[in-house]
Chains A and B, each alone.
Chain A
Amino acid sequence: MSSLLWEEVPLSWFLLLSAVLFSLGVVGFLIKRNLITVFMSIELMLNGVNLSFVTFAHQWHTVKGQIFVFFVMVVAAAEAAVGLAIIISVFRARATLAVDRIDLMKL
C-alpha cells in the first residue's frame, strides 16, 4: 500500500479523464431534452478540454496552456451570461424549455 501511495500518476490518466469528460458532455448534449441542461453539457465539454490544456502545460513546463485555459474561462463566462439571457428570452416567448418544442429561431 505504501508503494502505491507514493507512485506517481501518469499524465495520460489526466488526458483520458479529459477525453471521457468531453465524451460525456457530447452524450449529454445529445440525450438531454432541457435547454438549460444542454447548455450545462456544453460547459462540461469546455471543462474537459481545459483539463487537457492544463495537463499539456504541466508536461511541457510552460504556462501557455494555462493562459489558454484563462481565456477559455473568460469566454465561457461571457457565453454563459449571453446564453442564459437568450434562454430567458426564449422562455418568455414560448413558455417552455423543452428543446423539442423550440424549433424556430423567430422569437
Chain B
Amino acid sequence: MHLILFIVFAGFCLAGAINLLLQTHPVNSALSLIVVMTSLAVLYLLLGAEFLAAAQVIVYAGAIMVLFTFVVMLLNAGREERTRGSRAARAVGFPAVVVILAVVATVILYAHGLGSATLGEGLTNVKGSTNIEELSGVLFTKLLLPFEVTSVLILIAILGAVSLARPGNGEPEGSVASEGGTDSQGGADPEGSAERTGGK
C-alpha cells in the first residue's frame, strides 16, 4: 500500500515539476506547482509527519500559491517569449545540474547507512506520543526563542511587502520621482500603472 501510494504521488510530483518547466503561461506553471506541493503533502503523511502535511497544504498550496496566482493575474502576465537566455547558463549551468544530480544520487544510493532504512520503521514510537506532541514539545520549550523570532520576521516581511507594493509615495516610487525620470524605459508613473492594473 505504501509502495503504491509512493509511486502514484511521486509520479504526480515529477509530472507537475516537468509540466512547470514545459508550460509557457505562468498560470499553468502555478497550477502544476500546486500539484507538486499537494503530492508532497501526501508523501509527508507517508513519512509520518502529519503536522507538516497539514502545514504544507495550508501554507504552501494554500497561502503562497494563492499569492502567486494573485500576482500573476494582477500583473496580467502573458506567455513568456522563448529567448535563448544567457550563454553561460547553458554552457555551465546544465552540466553543473547533471553533475549535482549524479553526485547526490550516487551518495544516496551507495553511501553506508544513508537511506538504507525502509518506510514504516520510524512510525513505531517508543513513548506513545504523536508526532504533533513531540514537535510542539521541542518547539515550545527548547526552541522558544527562534519561534518568537520568526514572528518578528513575519511582521517585518509584512511591513516590507506593504511598503514595497504600495503605489504612490513608497520608497522606490519616491526615488524614481526624485531623479526626474532619467531612466528611459522606467518612466511609468504611479497613476498610469494603477489605472492599468486596475482596469484589467
> Which residues of A come within 8 Å of B, CB atoms?
4-17, 19-28, 30-34, 36-37, 39-41, 43-44, 47, 50-51, 54-55, 57-59, 61, 63-64, 66-67, 69-71, 73-82, 84-89, 91-95, 97-98, 100-101, 104, 106-107
Contacts and interface: CB of A to CB of B under 8 A. Distances in A.
A37 B26 contact: yes
Contact of A66 (B21, B26, B135, B164): B135
A55 B114 CA distance: 10
Given A9-B118, A13-B10, A73-B59, A85 B17 contact: no
Contact of A78 (B17, B146, B157, B190): B157
Q: Which 5 A-B pairs have the closest CB atoms?
A: A12-B115, A78-B157, A85-B164, A8-B118, A85-B161
A41 to B, nearest CB: 7
A38 B3 CA distance: 33
B117 A77 contact: no
Contacts of B116: 10-12
Given A19-B104, A44-B17, A93-B186, A10 B164 contact: no
B10 A84 contact: no
Given A34-B80, A71-B146, A27 B164 contact: no
Interface string B101-118: 100110011000011111
A66 B82 CA distance: 39
The A interface is mostly helix, strand or loop, or mixed, namely helix
Given A67-B135, A93-B183, 16 more contacts: A36-B75, A37-B26, A40-B33, A47-B37, A54-B47, A57-B47, A67-B139, A71-B150, A73-B60, A74-B153, A77-B59, A84-B67, A92-B193, A104-B183, A107-B173, A107-B186
Size category of the B interface is 35 or more
B75 A23 contact: no
B48 A86 contact: no
A27 B100 CA distance: 12
Contacts of A15: 108, 114-115
B14 A78 contact: no
B28 to A, nearest CB: 10
B161 A81 contact: yes
A106 B47 contact: no
B171 to A, nearest CB: 9
A6 to B, nearest CB: 7
A95 B176 CA distance: 14
B119 A58 contact: yes
Given A12-B108, A58-B47, A77-B59, A30 B52 contact: no
